[in-house]
Chains A and B, each alone.
Chain A
Amino acid sequence: MELGLTEQNKELLKSIWPLLVVIILFIVVGKIAVSQITAISTQVKDAKKSQTVLTTKLNTLKSTASITESGSEVALTALPKSNPAIMIMSQLKNISSQYPVVISNIRSTFADNNSSNLMFVSTAFDLSGKPEDIMSFIKAIDNIAPITVIQKISITSNVDFYTANIVAQTYYTPLPSTIPSITQPVNDLTAAEKDLLNKLSALSQPMVIPQANTSGDTSINPNPFGI
């Protein structure tokens, strides 16, 4: 079909259409390229981030392996997973044998402190002796495992000795039921945590030490602590 274009216009059109094609190609290819490159760059960025996290995690796990091996046992003794009534009674009798005091009426009652997922056994007992020996006994309770804190002390004076009624709380808490996913980072122990662990290691250990059931096969274990 003859459009009636002059030769001048035909020449101009012949020159312009490749220009338009190239511009359209630039737009189309550019759009595809931008989206593809953005997508793959994001993937590379995320993968590098994961690689950094996993490398750090692996290094942390390797470097803390020796500490966690012994530390977890110490921590589990300090804060057991189950009722520590027998352990605390054993520890109280053990301390009383170190000081010239008479311990009697030891009685334990279970209590549930729901606010912080910590449970405790409340142990009440009577102590007779000189004031300084009673004080030494009270001080010694601060240095036993499982962690025991004194909530109430009632001291009365008799003729030549003192009688103290003491109420102590010994804490325990269930084991954590999950571990983070493999891509989640884990943090090394902080200086404060290492310091606390050293203090826990120095605590007087009970006769019976609870063991963490942390062994398992290599498949995904939804309940890694075996409870």
Chain B
Amino acid sequence: MQRLLDVSELAAPEPLERVLESIGSLARGECLHVYHRQEPLLLYPILDERGYRWLSATDHSGMVHVLIWREDDERACDAAQDAIRQCTRT
């Protein structure tokens, strides 16, 4: 299960703000699918510190997809890996 968050038309640091707000309410088995126009390099260390895991990929149009889940949530991890495979395929 994944929740989509489109931050591609927000000015910095709104994308970071929105992501940090959203990850707090992730349900068990759920991952957050962030759609962004650039790699959110500053987000990653914050996610690492707060106990989240993430994967990112750039699609053919140059847009960046970041999948985020809680580190102890294996179902969400599987969902994130499926989602990232689809992003790189399309």
Asked if A and B are interacting partners, one says no
Chain A residues near B (Cβ < 8 Å): none
